[in-house]
Amino acid sequence: MMDKLKTRLDAFSDAIIAIIITIIVLELPIPLHNSISEYLQFGKGIGIYFISFIFVANIWYQHSNLFNDAETMNERVFIMEFIFLAFLSLVPLFTRMVTQDTNRWTVMAYGILTLIVNILFIILCNIVIKLKYTEHKDIQRIFTRVYGSQNNLITGTSIALIILAYFQPNWALIFYLALPIISFLRTDDQADLDDITQLSTTEQSDYFKLSPTDMRTFRKQQDEIRNKYVQQRKTNPNWKQDMRNEMGDLLKDGITTADGQKIDGSTIRNFYNRFHQQQDERKQNNHQRWQDHTQYVQNTSHNRRKDINTNERPNRTSNNANHKVENTKKENRK
């Protein structure tokens, strides 16, 4: 039952978002006279349309990724989804308001709406992910660790842009493009979440001790080792083996966290190995989905042509028969 409702909710949400984008473009002011001012207003409207389009399109992309990984639904998800879509459907109205009169109050109102939509989507993500990992006792802690930095960045940026809109509304409107870009660049959070939940209890305990700075430091050290030996490809015939040895030493040594705790490098290595493996599997699945879709379109097109040809043949036969009957009648009259 819930699986069917999930499919229908996906289709309903996609339809609502498609309608929202359509309404936004229909609200563009059309120049009524051949004057520079009206064409400038029209160009400004197109620019604001693209800001709203990118925002809504990114929401759809994040929403699709979230619901693709969801295995089931409950009443809380449906209620939160409807509340989220209700506020998202206000984007065309606020876009038109900003297009007609771009001042500090309209831009601030637009910023408040985008902030509300982002917060509602964060809450929706939290509900869906908790529902998927119901048996995982530390899921709230993992969710905060994986999504926390991005959510704080988006929320902080939104508040900063609302404040900027009070003083410089035009500049704030341009910087609203940063919000969907930040979200789009962090599309691997769901993969990180899946990987962390697959770690052992000890590995998860070690992972929680790592700060984002520790992770970046470890990755930076790996990249430095790799780049150093890649540059020695022509001069050092054993560069690959030397690189493996130094990488092995790094993994043995691990890293020391900011509070002085020692973390085995194998924990981080296992995490990134699983992450890249899951990335490859996701690419293969997307490629297979695309091939299946292409094959379906080709089969559908072939069947349609076949049906058209089948329908045309009886018509041609019938037309030929009628033509012969008419010729016979004409000969009899003569």
User: Among the ranges 64-78, 130-144, 252-266, 267-281, which has the highest mean pLDDT value?
Assistant: 64-78
pLDDT of 29 above 60? yes
State both tokens at 293: 């879709």
Half-sphere exposure of 148 (CA within 13 A, CB side): 10
State both tokens at 173: 């409107």
CA distances from 22 to 31, 89, 107, 118 (A): 19, 11, 21, 21
Q: Are 199 and 256 in contact (CB under 8 A)?
A: no
pLDDT of 132 above 80? no
Q: What is the mean pLDDT of residues 201-206?
A: 58
CA dist 30 and 43 (Å) reads 10
pLDDT tens digits for range 102-115: 999 999 999 999 99
State both tokens at 298: 């080709």
| pLDDT at residue number 49 | 92
CA dist 197 and 274 (Å) reads 11
The H or E element spanning position 262 is strand 262-263
Name the β-bridge partners of 262.
Answer: 256
pLDDT tens digits for range 139-173: 555 556 556 566 777 888 899 999 999 999 999 98
| pLDDT at residue number 244 | 74
Sequential DSSP letters for 105-145: HHHHHHHHHHHHHHHHHHHHHHHHHHHHTTT-TTHHHHHHH
pLDDT of 307 above 80? no
CA dist 120 and 114 (Å) reads 10
State both tokens at 182: 């930040």
Is residue 73 classed exposed, middle or buried when 0-12, 13-18 and 19+ CB atoms within 10 A define those classes?
A: buried
CA dist 296 and 291 (Å) reads 9
- Under the banding of pLDDT at 50, 70 and 90, the label for residue 273 is low
pLDDT of 192 above 60? no
pTM equals: 0.62
- Per cent of the chain over pLDDT 70 is 56
**How close are the terminal C-alpha atoms of the chain, in Å?**
74
CA dist 70 and 116 (Å) reads 23
pLDDT tens digits for range 63-100: 887 887 677 788 889 999 999 999 999 999 999 999 99
CA dist 124 and 86 (Å) reads 13
Instruction: Count Cβ neighbours within 10 Å for each residue of 27-54 and write b for 16 or more, e otherwise.
Output: beeeeeeeeeeeeebeebbeebbebbbb
Q: Tell me the average pLDDT of the chain.
A: 76
Angle 13-7-11 from CA coordinates, rounded to 5°: 30
Instruction: Count Cβ neighbours within 10 Å for each residue of 85-106 and write b for 16 or more, e otherwise.
Output: beebeebbebbbbbbeebeeeb
- Under the banding of pLDDT at 50, 70 and 90, the label for residue 284 is low
CA dist 196 and 146 (Å) reads 9
